[in-house]
Amino acid sequence: MSTPAHADEPRRDPAGGRDSGRGQPLPVPAPPGGHALRIDPRSRTAPAPPPLPVVDEVSAGGLVVTVSGGDLCAAIIARRNRGGRLEWCLPKGHLEGDETPEQAAVREIAEETGIQGAVQEPLGVIDYWFTGDDRRVHKVVHHFLLRATGGYLTVEGDPDGEAEDVAWIPVADLPDRLAYPNERRIAAVAQSVLEGRPARFHGVVESRVTRTIVRSPGRPHDGRGGPAPPAPRSSTDHS
């Protein structure tokens, strides 16, 4: 008896698959308009790493000023940023032991600029966050206006060796010389104080990562150089 032409063809399953005729399982049918689902185990999402510990740091510094050539000048320093670029900034550093922010500002400015000074006025606080290799750091930097009482410009006294240069810069020129916008705001307040007029910036100035609190002359503070509680920030203030 002759064999039908289609006898060797695998039989079709009513669901659309094919039976090999040898009892083997039918392949999984593809979904309409696509391919059969395949899950690559390598593509599975890895568990989230544990959160980094948070560390609080407090520093102090500011502007020490004198009259040079008829101009009010402030001593500022040049140091390398993390990218290796030299940037001009205000002298500052961490509080040590039981120091108050005012005491730390006097010491740090003397170490990094060579100029001794006496605190005249609190200028403001810069409050920001950054992430290191193994921690998140919440840093608060208190800034003061100091009157120069002695010394000479040198970076030799900087125990960390971070300051590479120091110079007297006219206070009016600091916005063009300082690298960081928040320090330029602090310098603008210092200029207003020195000229006997209200500060141009007051209250709280915020960005995504930085909050700057600056105060007009005579605004109260907490006795340790910290800010008085700021007025509520307007929801429309995006300065």
Residue 29 burial (10 A CB sphere; 0-12, 13-18, 19+)? exposed
User: What are phi and psi for residue 153, nearest 5 degrees?
Assistant: -65, 125
pLDDT at 171 (0 to 100): 96
C-alpha 58: how far from chain center = 14
Distance CA 166, CA 77 (A): 4
**Residue 9 domain flag:** no
pLDDT at 62: 97
Whether residue 34 is contained in a domain is answered as no
Asked whether residue 47 is domain-assigned, the answer is no
Q: What is the DSSP string of 75-137?
A: EEEEEE-TTS-EEEE--EEE--TT--HHHHHHHHHHHHHSEEEEEEEEEEEEEEEEE-SS-EE
- Cα R_g (the chain), whole angstroms: 33
Q: Which residues on adjacent β-strands are paired with residue 145? A: 63, 121
Report pLDDT for 207: 42
Split into its structural domains, the chain has a count of 1
Domain span at residue 165 reads 54-206
Residue 13 belongs to some domain of the structure: no
- Any domain includes 38: no
Domain of 174: which CATH number? 3.90.79.10
DSSP state of 4: P
Q: Residues near 98 by Cβ (< 8 Å), separated by ≥ 6?
A: none
User: Does any domain span residue 14?
Assistant: no
Is there a domain that residue 157 lies in? yes
pTM of the full predicted structure? 0.67
Q: Is 217 part of any domain?
A: no
Position 132 scores a pLDDT of 81
Rounded CA gap, 42 and 126, in Å? 45
For the chain, 239 residues long, give each residue's pLDDT as a single digit of tens: 555 555 555 555 555 555 555 566 666 666 666 666 666 666 667 788 888 899 999 999 999 999 988 899 999 999 999 899 999 999 999 999 999 999 999 999 999 999 999 999 999 999 988 888 888 989 999 999 999 999 999 999 999 999 999 999 999 999 999 999 999 999 999 999 999 886 645 444 444 445 555 544 444 333 333 333 333 333 333 33
